[in-house]
Amino acid sequence: MLRMQHSMNSRVHDHWVEQNFAWYRAAWIECGELIEHYGYKWWKKQAPDMEQV
């Protein structure tokens, strides 16, 4: 997964590591999306989408 992320980041900027991008924000968003796919709403009948998780 990290290799894939590095590859994608390199498309945005060849030297992305040295740019001090706020990468942690992207990690927060990805975690939020993971939780959405897993299904956290106990008041709804949700089936986890494990392929997306």
Give the residue numbers spanning the domain of 53: 1-53
Domain count, the chain: 1
Residue 42 has what pLDDT? 84
Using 50, 70 and 90 to split pLDDT, how confident is the model at 15? very high
What is the structure's pLDDT at 22? 86
For 1-53, the DSSP string reads -HHHHHHHHHHH-TTGGGGT--HHHHHHHHHHHHHHHH---TTS-----TTT-
Residue 43 CA neighbour count, 13 Å, CB half: 0
Distance from C-alpha of 4 to C-alpha of 6, rounded to nearest angstrom = 5
The pLDDT tens digits of the residues spanning 20-47 come to 888 889 889 999 999 988 888 888 888 8
**pLDDT confidence of residue 3:** 93
pLDDT for 40: 86
48 neighbors 37 (Cβ within 8 angstroms): yes
